[in-house]
Amino acid sequence: MSAAFKDNARPRLRFDLRGGQTLGDRSRKGSRYAIRQCGETQLAVLANGLEGRPYAGRVAECTVNSFVESAAPAFAREPRTEPGIILRHATERTHQEIATLGARWSLSGGLGTNLLAVSVSPQSERLHYVYAGDALLMRLNSGRIEELTLLHSEGAIVDSTIGIGIELLYCEDRGVAIAPGDQFVVASTGLYALKDSTIADILTKAPSAKSAVDALLHAVERRKHVFRGDTTVVVLQVGEEGA
């Protein structure tokens, strides 16, 4: 391989993906998350139990487990399959499993959770995501926070809930282009206790994904008077191998 070719080769992306939680005061609401390495793909899944619904935390845990059990083997086994297809299939399967669980438990109105899942891999150089219901996906763009997901209050997706109805399922099939220096945040709505400018400042100053997660959760804890529920945060920092 010539030196000129090596100099023109694009650097391989490196991902720093970390998550954490702070527990709130409302025991009826719970969020769960998981981060998995699936071959070359990294997967993060967040489920947030619906407030006022029974077994919110347990259902969120079942949702995350079901999604991971479907998506993780598919990413590892089928690296050339479009990520959006895998994410959509895992979401539909998870929805059916949670709906079946609600029927088995004979619960009026069924069981339901909000869901957000993202995947990244060095080969695609894109972030793919799928979501149903309320969950936050943010990107730090030129020092400002850009929200990539739509909440109930901002559109007609109130009926889009895992286990109850996913008539409106948002799946970014083409993905979002990523490059070294990019940062993304996956979070439950508890992160709304912070202003966008505060989130942007924390991300800009954080040297690692873990330090960003810790700082965000610490800031949320200091504002419990604004949002008293639990909060889950996952941060993705994109870099270059060898940098």
Residue 7 lies in a domain: no
Mean pLDDT value across residues 77-86: 90
Residue 122 lies in a domain: yes
Kind of pairing, strands 160-161 and 165-166?
Answer: antiparallel
Residue 135 lies in a domain: yes
- At residue 197, the 3 state secondary structure works out as helix
Lowest mean pLDDT among 5-14, 37-46, 75-84, 212-221: 5-14
- 141 has pLDDT over 50: yes
Question: What residues contact 3, with CB distance under 8 A and at least 6 apart?
Answer: none
Question: Cβ of 6: how many Cβ atoms within 10 Å?
Answer: 8
- At residue 12, the 3 state secondary structure works out as coil
Q: CA-CA distance, 71 to 104, in Å (whole number)?
A: 24
> How many domains does one find in the chain?
1
Residue 3 lies in a domain: no
Question: Cβ of 190: how many Cβ atoms within 10 Å?
Answer: 26
Question: Confidence class of residue 7 from pLDDT cuts 50, 70 and 90?
Answer: very low
Domain with 119 in it: 13-240
Q: What pLDDT sits at residue 117?
A: 96
Residue 6 lies in a domain: no
Residue 137 lies in a domain: yes
- At residue 214, the 3 state secondary structure works out as helix
Give the model confidence (pLDDT) of 16-56 as tens digits.
999 999 876 555 458 899 999 999 999 999 998 876 666 78
Question: Bigger pLDDT: 38 or 99?
Answer: 38
Mean of the per-residue pLDDT values of the chain: 85
Q: What pLDDT sits at residue 24?
A: 64
Question: Confidence class of residue 152 from pLDDT cuts 50, 70 and 90?
Answer: low
Residue 143 lies in a domain: yes
Give the model confidence (pLDDT) of 109-130 as tens digits.
667 888 999 999 998 889 999 9
Question: Confidence class of residue 1 from pLDDT cuts 50, 70 and 90?
Answer: very low
Phi and psi at residue 128, in whole multiples of 5°?
-110, 145
Residue 21 lies in a domain: yes
Tell me the percentage of the chain whose pLDDT exceeds 90.
53
Question: What residues contact 11, with CB distance under 8 A and at least 6 apart?
Answer: 180, 240, 241, 242, 243
Q: What pLDDT sits at residue 160?
A: 67
Q: What pLDDT sits at residue 28?
A: 44
Tell me the percentage of the chain whose pLDDT exceeds 70.
81
Tell me the DSSP string of 35-79.
Answer: EEEETTEEEEEEEEEPTTSTTHHHHHHHHHHHHHHHHHHHHHH-T
Strands (E), the chain: 13-22, 31-38, 41-49, 113-120, 126-132, 136-141, 144-147, 160-161, 165-166, 170-171, 176-177, 183-187, 231-240
Q: CA-CA distance, 150 to 161, in Å (whole number)?
A: 13
CA dihedral sign, ordered 210, 211, 215, 216: negative
CATH no. for residue 46? Answer: 3.60.40.10
Q: What pLDDT sits at residue 127?
A: 96
pTM: 0.88
Q: What pLDDT sits at residue 169?
A: 66
Q: CA-CA distance, 127 to 175, in Å (whole number)?
A: 5
